[in-house]
Amino acid sequence: MIILNINYILNIIITLFLIGALGLVLNRKNILITLMSIELMLLAINLNFVIFSIYLDDITGYIFVLFILTIAAAESAIGLAILTIYYRLKNTIQIDKIKRIKG
């Protein structure tokens, strides 16, 4: 059995999370990519919970993962619903065009 160093896995997770975060920030075109980035960040967090749950030999992490999965599903459902409604109203889902609320 290959024993993986936890640091290795944590590096992967943080890379995943950063990809998600940077996807949020650097994405200037498509709002779907924003939603996907959020999903990616949630996945990275889930993975993190799983890893630590195994590492610390504790069940609480799994429970949280299940919760987060549900919440992620609900969130993407609601997000997509908002998106469709918005598309219906504005006829576009380009991020550049969504700038009506200024400071």
User: Would you tell me which residues interact with another protein (CB under 8 A)?
Assistant: 21, 24-28, 31, 34, 95-96, 98-103
Secondary structure class of 5 (helix, strand, coil): coil
Of the pair 89, 101, the CB lying nearest another protein is at: 101
Shortest distance in whole angstroms from residue 21 CB to another protein: 6
Residue whose C-alpha is closest to residue 92's, from 31, 25, 26: 31
Shortest distance in whole angstroms from residue 63 CB to another protein: 25
Of the pair 88, 99, the CB lying nearest another protein is at: 99
Cβ-Cβ contacts under 8 Å for 37 (sequence gap 6 or more):
19, 20, 21, 23, 24, 27
Shortest distance in whole angstroms from residue 9 CB to another protein: 21
Tokens 């619903």 sit on residue: 81
Of the pair 59, 101, the CB lying nearest another protein is at: 101
How many angstroms separate the first and last alpha carbons of the chain?
57
Shortest distance in whole angstroms from residue 30 CB to another protein: 11
Q: Is the dihedral of CA 87, 89, 91, 97 positive or negative?
A: negative
Of the pair 22, 69, the CB lying nearest another protein is at: 22
